[in-house]
Every structure is written in structure tokens, then in C-alpha cells.
A = this chain, B = another copy of it.
Amino acid sequence: MDASRPIGVFDSGIGGLTVVRALMERLPLESIVYFGDTARVPYGLKSVATIEQFTGQIVDELMRRQVKMLIVACNTMAAVASATVAARACGVPVLDVIEAGALAAVEESPRGRVGVLGTPTTINSNAYARRIHRLDPALRVVSQACPLFVPLVEEGWLDHPVTRLTAQEYLRPVMAEDVDTLVLGCTHYPLLKPLLKEVAGEGVRLVDSAITTAELAARRLAELNLASTGECTADYRFVVTDVPLRFQTIGERFLGRSLGSVERLEW
């Protein structure tokens, strides 16, 4: 496979841009095609059958664009549709945010007590607990669905009394289990890191799956001899199914820089 090909990163919406941001910092020579299904976002409350159908369509589109690696930047898709991704990837290496987050949780938890925060579908799938237990069956895992975090982030209320109160409510049962590590199991949540750090308290580590995914991608590309040699300038493409109101503003909040040109695909 040609190492100059782009990495394909996909998400149900724009949250996966936090993963793109981490990839740009960790792997500045790599080109990236980002696909966000903004016309059908959010996936976090949809059924497994529908998520599998949508995931298959996205993977097919990225395969047509000849990516050298697929990164599932959406926790919900990683949680319930990883078999669909694998089946359609035709041998292209795949990694996802849950794999990366589970690995980091196991490596970082000092006392083996891990809390996982995510969308209802991610939490109901139990995917984090299963992946963590595959790495270390002795770890204690407590999960909590936080359906309001995504809309709060999109509203821009990153440090707002409403968000603080919501976080206190969601974290109460998790902290009661005396966890030492909290996995941010949704690509929107890294934007709430300062607030969650405060609510969870000093002693608790936060695992940001965007950063851990970029680490894992770097490792995997090196192992497979697929890392870009930097002969061409890194190229970034953003493909979405809808360009909604405030898209640039919200997108740039996630990416941490200007989005440049965005292609809208009409499905």
C-alpha cells in the first residue's frame, strides 16, 4: 500500500474533529480525509440496525477515496458497528476510539477503578467494559450515559452553571464507586475536560480518547510501515453530508483551527 495515501477518519458529526486535531499534532506529515455524517447526526440514540447501515455507507465512501487506514472517531459506531467496518475495510487497517481509550484506561488507572462516560448507545453496548476486561479482567468498570453533554458542548456552554450541575448529577453515581480514572467515551467530551476535572476532583485522571487514538495510530502506522515520508505536503479534506448553521464556528471549536474548504456530499 502507498504510504502517501490519506488516513480516513469518520464520525457521526463534527465531534471526531477532536481526533483530527490530535492526529495533526502527533502526525504532522499525514494527510487526512475526514467524513462527518452531519445530516443524520447524532447517532447516540439510534438503533443498532440503523447505525450499522449508516456506518457501512460511510466506510464505502472512504474506501472509494483510497485511504490507507480507517479511524472510527465515533464512539457509538465503534461500540456497535465495528464488525460492519471490518467487513467493508477490505484489509485496510482499522482502529477506533474505544480500543484506544480502553488501552489508555488500563495503562493509566493506578488502583484499577475506571469510570466510563458516553452516549446512551455506547454505554448500553457495554463495549468499553468488554474491551477493558479483555486487557485486564480484574479492572472494576462503572459506566454512565451522559446524553446532555453533546448538546451542552454544541451550545458552547463549556463552563456554565447548567453544565456543572448536569456533570454533578451524572458523575454522582460514578464517583460513589471511588473511581480513579474517567474515560471520556465520546469525542465531544474533551471540550468539557476542565469542568469535568473540577467536578471529579484532583485525584481522578481523565482519559481523552482523541489523544490516545492519535498515539495508537502513530504506533500502528510505524508497525505496518505505512507512515508518510513527507514527500508531499499533508492535505486535509473535510467531507460532510450537511453544512448546518454555525458549522464553521462549532467545527473550529473542535479542530482548534480554521476548517478551510468543506465538501458537502448529497446522499
On chain A, the number of residues with a Cβ less than 8 Å from chain B's Cβ atoms is 31
Known: A50-B39, A162-B169. A45 touches B154 (CB 8 A): yes
B245 touches A120 (CB 8 A): yes
- A151 within 8 Å of B by Cβ? yes
A154 touches B147 (CB 8 A): yes
- Residues from chain B with a CB closer than 8 A to the CB of A150 are 151
Q: State the CA gap A38–B45 with chains docked (Å).
A: 9
Q: State the CA gap A53–B45 with chains docked (Å).
A: 23
**Chain B nearest CB, measured from A224 CB (Å):** 36
- A155 within 8 Å of B by Cβ? yes
Known: A39-B40, A162-B162. A245 touches B147 (CB 8 A): no
**Chain B nearest CB, measured from A231 CB (Å):** 38
- A83 within 8 Å of B by Cβ? no
**Chain B nearest CB, measured from A49 CB (Å):** 8
* Chain B residue with the shortest CB-CB distance to A169: B162
* Chain B residue with the shortest CB-CB distance to A146: B155
B151 touches A162 (CB 8 A): no
- A94 within 8 Å of B by Cβ? no
- Residues from chain B with a CB closer than 8 A to the CB of A166 are 162
Q: State the CA gap A166–B59 with chains docked (Å).
A: 38
- A261 within 8 Å of B by Cβ? no
Chain A 120-146 per-residue mask, 1 if CB under 8 angstroms from chain B, else 0:
110010000000000000000000000
* Chain B residue with the shortest CB-CB distance to A53: B266
- Residues from chain B with a CB closer than 8 A to the CB of A165 are 161-162, 165
Q: List the 5 closest A-B pairs by CB distance, nearest first.
A: A151-B151, A50-B242, A40-B40, A162-B165, A45-B244
Pairs across A and B, CB under 8 Å, 21 listed: A38-B46, A39-B50, A40-B40, A45-B154, A45-B245, A45-B246, A46-B244, A49-B242, A50-B241, A50-B242, A120-B245, A120-B246, A121-B245, A147-B154, A148-B151, A148-B152, A150-B151, A162-B162, A162-B165, A162-B166, A162-B169
